Chain A
Amino acid sequence: MPKIEIQESIFFKLLGQKMKEPELVSILEGAKAELDGWEKESSILKIELNDTNRPDLWSTAGLARQIRALLGKGIKEYGFLSRKGDARDTGNRAVNVDTGLKDIRPYIAAFVVKGPPIDEPFLLEIIQSQEKLCQNLGKRREKIAMGVYRADMIQYPVSYIAADPDKTSFVPLTFDNELSLREILKQHPKGIEFGGIVENFKKFPFIKDSKDDVLSFPPIINSATVGALQVGDNHIFVEMTGPDLDPLLLATSITACDFADAGYEVLPVKIVYPYDTPYGREIVTPYYFQKPVSLDAAYGSKLLGEKLTAEQSADYIRKAGNPVSVEGDKVVLTPVPYRNDFLHPVDVVEEIMIGRGLNNFEPVMPMYYTIGRISETEEFTRGLRDIMVGLGFQEMIYNYLGSKKDFIERMNLPDEDFIHISNPMTENYAVVRKSALPNLLASEAVSGNAAYPHKIFETGKVVCKDKSENYGARTFNSLSFLVADREAGFNDVNNAVSALFYFVAREYTRKETDDPRFIKGRTAEILCNGKKVGIMGEVHPIVLSNWGITMPCACAEIDIDKLKG
C-alpha cells in the first residue's frame, strides 16, 4: 500500500485551513488513509493510503482535494479537460506517434504547465507523485512511465517514435557521455532496473522534438538536457507512456489536476496516432473518458441496512467528493476526472457510507440462526491429540515451509514428490514439507539440553505431489511423533501406535519395509484395511548425524485423513 510524505505547509495551504492531529486522523479515515507519523521538526506528515484503486490520493494535492470535499468545501471543476467531440485548444502543442510503436508501447499522453517557478519542496513533491503513480498504478513503469521536461527548450511537434536501439544515442540524465539505447540498458542504473520492459523488442520507444533534441527513452530515462528539470523552471512539459490507454489517461488527469491545484495553468497537448485507439486517432490530453454510474437508491438502502431516499443518497455521495444527480429513484454519479474506480453500483454505495460517516450507522445484531461446528477432521484430530497427550507426548506446532537441506538432504531422501517454491525469498522457506518428521528432528537437534526423555508430536498439514489430483498434489493431515532417549527404540513408537489405534477403534497390521530414514529391520509400514496409512521405526544414524543428534530417536507418522477413512 502506498505511503507518502507530505509537506505540512503545502498540505494545509491546499486545504485552506490548519488541523490538529486527532481531527486530521479522524478525517483521513474518510480517505481510507492513516497518519503514520507527524515529524514536527521537519513539518512532514507520513501517510499510508489503503485504497489501491485511488491513485488520485497518492499526492499532497490529491489527498487535500479529498479532505476538502469531506470538510464540505465542495468539488473543484477543471476546465482543461477535453471530451469526446469537445477538444480544448492546443495551439502548436502536438505529439506525433510513430506507427512502429503499435506493438511496443502504443500510447502516450501529454500536457504542459505554466506558473510560478518551482521550488525545492514542490520539485520533491512532483518526483514523489511521479514515483507513486509509476510504481503502484504503473506496475514499476510497465503500465505507466512518466517524464517531466523543460518546456522552454522544446520545439513542437514532439515525436514519439520506435528507434533503433543501437543507432540511437543521447546523454542520459546523471551521465556525461552519450550512450546508445542498448548501452543505457546495460550501463545506466535505471536501464538495469527497468530494462526488462523493453529489452525483448526490436525497437525501443524514444521521444524527441522537431529539432531532434532528445526528451527521453521511455520508460527508462530522460535526457540530460531537455529532460533535466530544475528548481526555478516555470514551464514544464509532462508526458506518460504505456501499453493501455485508460490508466494512462487517468494518471495524466490526476497529475494535471495536482498541478492545477498548486496554481499552474494546464495547457493541453494534441496526440496524433497513425493507428486506431479507443478514443480515435486524435486525442487531446488531458482527456476525460469516464462514464456515469447509476445506482438504484433501494439497492443502496438494502446493502447499507438504512432506508435512504435518492436525494439523501445523492447528498452523501456529493459530500464524499462526487458530482451526482437524481433521476427518479436513481442517483447518477459522474466520476471526477481523477477517479476511475466505479466499476459497479456497489462502488457508489460505499460513497454513501463514507459521505454519511460510518459512525452514523448503528450496528445491529445478525439475525440468522445457523448451526456452528468444527470440521469432522478437526474433531477427529482433537481425539488423536488427546490420546498423544495421554501417552505423555508434548504437542508442537511448526512452519510448513522449510529448506531443501532440512526436508530432503538431512532426511537422506531423494528429491521426489516435494513441492518446491519457484520464487523463494530465502532458502529457509523454499520447500513445502511432505512429512513432519524433519520438523520433529529439528526440534530434537536444538533441544539436547532439555531434560530427557523427549516425547513430542504434531498434527498438521503436509503436501505430496500426486498426478491423480487435479492440482497435481495432495494436501493431507498428518500426525507425527518422536521419542528421543538413551534407550529410545522401535518399541516406544510401536507401543504408542498400538495404543492410538486401539483408542480410535481401528485395526492395523505391520509390514517390514525399507526406508532410507530408518534403520533396516526396524522399520514398519502401518497398514489399515491393507492400505498404507503410516510408517514407524528407529531413525537411521545417518539421519541423526545429519541433524547433529547423538540421542537415539524413534519416530512414527500417520496420515490422519486415511486413518479417519
Chain B
Amino acid sequence: MNYEEIIKGLHPLEVKVLLNFNKGDPISAKNTMEKLSFLQGQCNQSFSWLSDKQFIEEKSRTTTVFVALTDSGWEYREKGTPEQRIFDLVKSGEPLTLPEIADKLNLENKDVGSAFGSLSKAGLLSMNVEKKASIADASKTDGIEKMKKLLDLIASKEQVLEKDLSPAQRELVQKNSKKRGSGGIFKIIEQEEIIYMFTDTGLTVKEKMKSMGITGEEIGVLTPEIMTSGEWKTRGFRGYNINIPPARVLMGRKNPYCEFLENLKNKLASLGFEEFDGPLTETEFWNSDALFMPQFHAARDIHDVFYVKDPLHAREIAQPYLDHVSSTHENGWKTGSRGWQYGFDRDFTRRMILRSQGTVLSAKTLPNAKVPGKYFGVVRCFRPDDVDATHSADFYQTEGIVLGEEVNLRNLLGLLKIFAEEVAGATEVKYVPGYFPFTEPSVEVHIKHKVLGWFELGGSGIFRPEVTEPLGIKVPVLAWGLGIDRMAMMSLGINDLRELFTFDIENVRMRRRK
C-alpha cells in the first residue's frame, strides 16, 4: 500500500481524527465534538470515510433516549398548561361555562373541554347545576404541580436523559409526548452512539502521518489573506489527490473545417498566390460566357446551375468585355478561333445565377491582373445535385491562375507537383490529359496519398485564348483547381460530406485534430 498517496488524499477532518486519538481510545461523535469541536455532520462524514478506508472499525453501538420540549411544551412552560390556567381563572373568580373560559383564555373549545375533563378527574373542578365549572377541592393541585416541575426541569437542561427521570415523570412524558402526526408537550429523541477504535491499518497510517510531519493544520486553498498574513511561511500545504477525475471545460474554439481552409489559404499565400473573392450571385456572363462555354453547352442548363428567381438579370455587363466575349463566341473575334458559330444571346448573358464554379473568379480577376501574377480563391459554389454522403449542392472550390509570358505546359506540371507535395502531402504524382471547356491543353493531376491512396487532386490547363484575349490578357494563363474535400474529410475524421457543415454543436465541440 502506498501510504503517502493515501495520506495526501485524506480530508483535513480525517487527518484531525487520526492525529487526535490514540490506540485503544473510544472514538465517538460525542467525544470528537468535545475534543475537536466538530459538528455532528463533520463527525458522521469523517467516520464514514475512515471506516471505508478501514482505518477505524465499529466496536459498539448504544441508543440513548432524551426527552425535550415541543413548541407547545415551551409555550406551556411560559404561560402554564391549559389545566393550570383554567384552574387559576375559576379559582380567582366565579364559576364559568366552558365557552366562557375558552373565550377569556383565548383557547379552543375542544382544548378547554379536554383540560376540564382531566381537572375534574383530578377532583379540582366540577360542573355545577348551572353547567358552570366551579372549584371542587382547591387543594388537589398535585398533578398540576408535577407537570410544572417537569416542564421546568426539562426546559432548564434543553433535554434530559429519559433514564434520569422518575417513573412517575416518565409516565407523564409518555402520556404527553408527541405522537405521530399530532402535537404534544414532550418529544422523545433517540440518539445512537457508535464507538469506533483504530484498526492496525489506521494506526500505521497515523504513525506514518506523524513521521511525515502532518499536523492537520496544512493550508488547503491558498487565499489572498494567507498571502497577506504570511501564514504560508509557517504552515505546510495539504497535498491534493492529483488523480482526481477532471471536470469538463466548455471552451471557445475554431471550427476544425474552417481551420483546414485557413491552413490551405496560408499555404497558397506562402506559394506566392494572392487571394480573390466575389459575390455568391453571378451572371451567366462571368459564370460561363467569359469562360468560352457556348450558351448551348450541356453543362449550362437548368440541371447544372441554380437560377435566381428575382432579380432575373443584372443591369449591365461591363464593356468592352461584353462585346469581346460575344464576338468570340460568334466568330472567334480577334483570337484566331472560329468561335462557336451561333448568335450570342445578350439577355441570357445578364441572367442571374448562383456561382457554380470557382473559375468564375479567376476570369473576373483577369481584366485587372498583374503580369506576372498568381491568384487563388477558396470559394463557395452551388449546383443542383441530390445531396448525399458524396454529393453537395453547396460546397467549396479551390481555384487559381498564374499569368506570365513564359507560362507553359511544363511549368504547369511543375506547379501541380508543388501543390501535390506541399498542399496534399502526395508521395507520387501522375498527370493525365483532361478536358475542361476553358483550357487547352488540359491536365488532370492524380496523386498517391499515404492514407487515401490514389485519387484525382485537381484539374488544370492553359486558359484558351478565347478566354484570356477578350478580357485583355495577352500572355498565357495557367488555370488550376484543387479538390480538397477528401483531404478535409480525412483530417476531420469524417466520411460524409454533409458533416463538414453540421449543425450539431456537440459534434463540432468534440472534433479534434488528426
Chain A residues within 8 Å of B, Cβ to Cβ = 29-30, 32, 50-54, 136, 139, 143, 244, 246, 291, 302-306, 343-347, 349-350, 353-354, 358-359, 361-375, 377-378, 382, 385, 388-401, 419-426, 428-429, 432, 439, 442-447, 449-451, 453-456, 461, 463, 465, 470-475
Contacts and interface: CB of A to CB of B under 8 A. Distances in A.
A471 B433 contact: no
Interface in B258-278: 258, 262, 265-266, 268-278
Nearest to B413: A363
B464 A52 contact: no
Interface stretch (B20-28, B126-134, B401-409): B401-409
18 contacts: A53-B437, A244-B342, A304-B441, A345-B336, A349-B440, A358-B433, A361-B409, A366-B407, A366-B418, A368-B402, A372-B272, A391-B252, A398-B503, A422-B307, A456-B505, A470-B315, A471-B314, A472-B314
A358 B311 CA distance: 46
Contacts of B311: 465, 471-473
Given A421-B308, A447-B506, 8 more contacts: A30-B433, A305-B411, A362-B410, A372-B270, A394-B251, A394-B505, A401-B382, A461-B280
Interface in B475-514: 476, 500-501, 503-506, 508-509
Contacts of B432: 29, 32, 358
B386 A425 contact: yes
A362 B394 CA distance: 37
A389 B308 contact: no
Given A389-B253, A450-B505, A364 B411 contact: yes
B298 to A, nearest CB: 6
A371 B271 CA distance: 8
B298 A365 contact: no
B442 interface: yes
A463 B262 CA distance: 22
B9 interface: no
B281 A400 contact: no
Interface stretch (B99-107, B139-147, B372-380): B372-380
Given A303-B462, A344-B335, A372 B250 contact: no
A246 B431 CA distance: 34
Contact of B441 (A353, A456, A474, A475): A353
B310 to A, nearest CB: 7
Contacts, number: 287
Contacts of B409: 303-306, 353, 361
Interface string B246-257: 001011111101
Contact of B254 (A136, A304, A389): A389
Contacts of B301: 139
Contact of A372 (B269, B282, B465): B269
Interface string B208-243: 000000000000000000000000000000000000
Given A143-B296, A345-B336, A423 B464 contact: no
Interface in B427-469: 431-435, 437, 440-443, 462, 464-466
B416 interface: yes
B387 interface: yes
B274 A370 contact: yes
A361 B252 contact: no
B296 A401 contact: no
B220 to A, nearest CB: 28
A397 B259 CA distance: 11
Given A344-B335, A447-B506, A139 B414 contact: no
B501 A303 contact: no
A274 B503 CA distance: 65
Nearest to A299: B336
Interface of B: 248, 250-255, 257-258, 262, 265-266, 268-283, 296-299, 301-302, 306-311, 313-316, 332, 335-342, 352, 354, 370, 372-374, 380, 382, 384-387, 393-394, 402, 404, 406-411, 413-418, 431-435, 437, 440-443, 462, 464-466, 476, 500-501, 503-506, 508-509
Contacts of A344: 332, 335-338, 440, 464-466
A149 to B, nearest CB: 28
A510 B96 CA distance: 79
Contacts of A347: 440
Contacts of A303: 408-409, 441, 462, 476
B316 A446 contact: no
A400 B394 contact: yes
A305 B298 CA distance: 32
A419 B382 CA distance: 14
Given A139-B298, A389-B252, A471-B281, A401 B393 contact: yes
B250 A359 contact: no
A326 to B, nearest CB: 20
B505 A454 contact: yes
B501 to A, nearest CB: 5
B504 A455 contact: no
B252, B302, B372 — most chain A CB neighbours (10 Å): B252
Contacts of B341: 246
B387 A470 contact: no
Contacts of B265: 374, 378
A375, A399, A447 — most chain B CB neighbours (10 Å): A399
Nearest to B464: A346
B504 to A, nearest CB: 6
B309 A422 contact: yes
Nearest to A357: B433
A327 B341 CA distance: 27
A421 B309 contact: yes
Contact of A302 (B253, B275, B408, B431): B408
Contacts of B354: 421, 432
Q: Which 4 pairs from chain A and chain B are nearest by CB? A: A472-B311, A305-B408, A305-B410, A363-B413
A354 B121 CA distance: 128
A395 B433 contact: no
A305 B335 CA distance: 21
B253 A395 contact: yes
B500 A419 contact: no
B435 A372 contact: no
A426 B506 CA distance: 27
Nearest to B377: A375
B394 A401 contact: yes
Contacts of A32: 432-435
A515 to B, nearest CB: 23
B308 A394 contact: no
A127 to B, nearest CB: 20
B252 A392 contact: yes
A506 to B, nearest CB: 21
Nearest to B441: A350
A11 to B, nearest CB: 21
A448 B338 CA distance: 62
Contact of B394 (A136, A345, A377, A429): A429
A392 B411 CA distance: 46
A445 B503 CA distance: 9
Nearest to B478: A366
Contacts of A445: 503
A373 B377 CA distance: 11
Given A32-B434, A443-B504, A395 B314 contact: no
Nearest to B509: A394
A366 B287 CA distance: 28
Contact of A447 (B258, B417, B504): B504
A392 B251 contact: yes
A423 B411 contact: no
Contacts of A353: 409, 433, 441
Contacts of A449: 506
Given A343-B337, A394-B509, A453 B250 contact: yes
B294 to A, nearest CB: 10
B501 A366 contact: no
Contact of B306 (A393, A424, A444, A446): A424
Contacts of B385: 425
A393 B258 CA distance: 14
